[in-house]
Amino acid sequence: MDENIREAISDLKCYLEYLKGMGISSLPVSENVSERVVKSEIQTLTDVQKTLGDCKRCKLHRTRRTIVFGEGNEKATLMFVGEGPGYDEDVQGRPFVGKAGQLLTKIIESINLSREEVYIANIVKCRPPQNRNPETDEIQSCNPFLMDQIRVIRPRIICALGSFAAQTLLKTSTKISELRGKIFDIEGIKVIPTYHPAFLLRNPERKRDVWEDMKKIAEYLRNADRRGQSG
Ligand code: SF4
């Protein structure tokens, strides 16, 4: 046997002995494979949160204070998806708690729902430094967990708040001004994009558009209820 191969086998043997000594009885598999296996066991939001763990899958973990997982009703019929946590959210570990969050609460209440009845999450769960836009690799790293949350909750409709949420969920680069108010479908769940509340704070004249979109959402939910009752 070649001396190099003999040495490599000896090294591997030492490494395995070392792992055994540490109480590790099986070799670690790559993250993708292990996550795929775990995914099939995901039934609840707690399962998603456990899989996420103290996530360091993208560079945003270096500057965040807390992971903002999302909050609300696990059986919500309406889910909101925003872009990412800002300063207040990073401090409190909750989504949409700053000024834009207060406006979102009013938007939710405008269709006679409460924050507790809906579910609120973001495209990325850690705050981008200086509130910059999330980057493609960060969105890609975080998106599987959002998709798992959506699969667990299975809302009737998702309201995508702003460009990033809408473009990421719908896998498009079309502008939010063209997407808003239209009904799309992902994995059998309807998606209506509208403007982000932070955008509304800067452009209050757009509030009317959001009101129109919310009326559409309320109407869709009412019709879905009727279909559910008669079906
Ligand atoms: S943004 Fe998402 S993928 Fe990146 S570290 Fe935070 S939780 Fe993990």
Query: Computed from CA positions of residues 121, 125, 129, 135, in that sequence, does the dihedral angle turn out positive or negative?
Result: negative
The per-residue pLDDT for range 23-48, each reduced to its tens digit, is 455 554 444 434 544 456 789 999 99
CA-nearest residue, atom 8 of ligand 1:
55
The per-residue pLDDT for range 138-154, each reduced to its tens digit, is 999 999 999 999 999 99
Comparing CA positions, the residue from 81, 169, 83 lying closest to residue 126 is: 83
* Substitution candidate for ligand 1 out of 49, 52, 58 with most atoms within 8 A of CB: 58
In the predicted structure, residue 177 carries a pLDDT above the cut 50: yes
* Substitution candidate for ligand 1 out of 126, 146, 168 with most atoms within 8 A of CB: 126
* Average pLDDT value over all residues in the chain: 88
Give the ligand 1 atom nearest the CA of 145. Answer: 2
Backbone angles phi, psi at 56, to 5 degrees: -130, 35
Highest mean pLDDT among 4-13, 23-32, 186-195: 186-195
* Substitution candidate for ligand 1 out of 48, 56, 131 with most atoms within 8 A of CB: 56
**151 burial level (CB within 10 Å; 0-12, 13-18, 19+):** middle
More confident residue, 21 or 173: 173
State the average pLDDT over residues 1-7: 65
Q: How many A from CA of 85 to the centre of ligand 1?
A: 11
Query: pLDDT category, 22, cuts 50, 70, 90?
Result: very low
Tell me the C-alpha distance between 47 and 24, whole Å. 24
**164 burial level (CB within 10 Å; 0-12, 13-18, 19+):** buried
Comparing CA positions, the residue from 112, 73, 82, 79 lying closest to residue 222 is: 112
Percent of the chain with pLDDT over 90: 77
Tell me the C-alpha distance between 114 and 194, whole Å. 18
Tell me the C-alpha distance between 91 and 85, whole Å. 9
Percent of the chain with pLDDT over 70: 81
State the average pLDDT over residues 148-164: 96
Q: How many A from CA of 214 to the centre of ligand 1?
A: 30
CA-nearest residue, atom 4 of ligand 1:
58
The per-residue pLDDT for range 60-118, each reduced to its tens digit, is 999 999 999 999 999 999 999 999 999 999 999 999 999 999 999 999 999 999 999 99
Tell me the C-alpha distance between 110 and 208, whole Å. 12
